[in-house]
């Protein structure tokens, strides 16, 4: 094994030891409500998301119903819901790329849904990962899309591990 491969194995063992079955703090009932909650969590705290989503989902709990809610109330979620209905028959796809292409959902949201809704190990990448990777010595900080690619290059990719979703304060 190479030095880099050895490092990946050690990091994987540490992650598995400290985060054997990470749970997501966002309240959800199915892949669609999880996807919406993760998209919203990019805009505010998880606590706030958990406070507002029960009311939203009581009114519109499916992509078809959410797609009909007036734009002024939900903007991005409405468009995401319309695309789920038009492109995927109202079902949240198990395909990572299909979820990444949805409005408001990027790699992180798609990966969280992959891991939490479909029980497929994934590696959600966001700004906090930028801080961890250089410490691990894998790569220097890059933009988010490059960060995801660099993370995969380090051997931590979909199919190997899921980090817990950790809420962080927004300005």
pLDDT given at position 130: 52
pLDDT given at position 36: 92
The reply to whether 25 falls in a domain is: no
The reply to whether 100 falls in a domain is: yes
Copy the structure tokens of residue 151.
Answer: 């993370």
Q: Indicate which residue of 16, 46, 126, 133 is catalytic.
A: 126
The reply to whether 137 falls in a domain is: no
Phi, psi of 122 (to 5 degrees): -145, 170
Q: Indicate which residue of 6, 46, 108, 140 is catalytic.
A: 108
Q: How many domains are there within the chain?
A: 1
CA distance linking residue 126 with residue 165, whole number of Å: 10
Q: What percent of the chain has pLDDT above 90?
A: 29
Q: What DSSP character marks residue 160?
A: T
How many whole angstroms from its chain centre is CA 95? 13
pLDDT given at position 126: 61
Domain with 38 in it: 31-118
pLDDT given at position 127: 54
How many whole angstroms from its chain centre is CA 153? 19
Residues in the chain with pLDDT < 50?
134-135, 139-171
The reply to whether 144 falls in a domain is: no
Q: Would residue 140 show up in a list of annotated catalytic residues for this protein?
A: no
Q: Would residue 3 show up in a list of annotated catalytic residues for this protein?
A: no
pLDDT given at position 128: 54
Question: DSSP string of 52-90?
Answer: HHHHHHHH--SHHHHTTS-HHHHHHHHHHHHHHHHHHTT
The reply to whether 50 falls in a domain is: yes
pTM exceeding 0.85? no
The CATH number assigned to the domain holding 39 equals: 1.10.340.30
pLDDT given at position 145: 40
The reply to whether 139 falls in a domain is: no
List pLDDT tens digits, range 15-53: 888 877 777 789 999 999 999 999 998 888 889 999 989
């Amino acid at each position: 094994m190479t030095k880099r491969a050895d490092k990946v194995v050690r990091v994987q063992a540490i992650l598995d030891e400290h985060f054997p079955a990470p749970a997501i703090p966002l309240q959800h009932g199915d892949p669609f409500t999880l996807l919406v909650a993760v998209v919203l969590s990019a805009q505010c705290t998880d606590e706030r998301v958990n406070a507002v989503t029960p009311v939203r989902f009581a009114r519109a709990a499916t992509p078809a119903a959410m797609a009909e809610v007036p734009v002024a109330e939900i903007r991005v979620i409405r468009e995401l819901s319309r695309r789920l209905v038009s492109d995927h028959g109202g079902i949240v796809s198990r395909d990572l790329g299909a979820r990444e292409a949805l409005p408001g959902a990027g790699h992180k949201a798609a990966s969280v849904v992959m891991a939490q809704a479909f029980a497929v190990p994934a590696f959600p990448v966001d700004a906090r990962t930028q801080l961890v990777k250089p410490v691990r010595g894998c790569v220097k900080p890059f933009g988010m899309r490059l960060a995801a690619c660099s993370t995969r290059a380090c051997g931590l990719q979909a199919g190997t591990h899921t980090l817990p979703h950790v809420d962080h304060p927004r300005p």
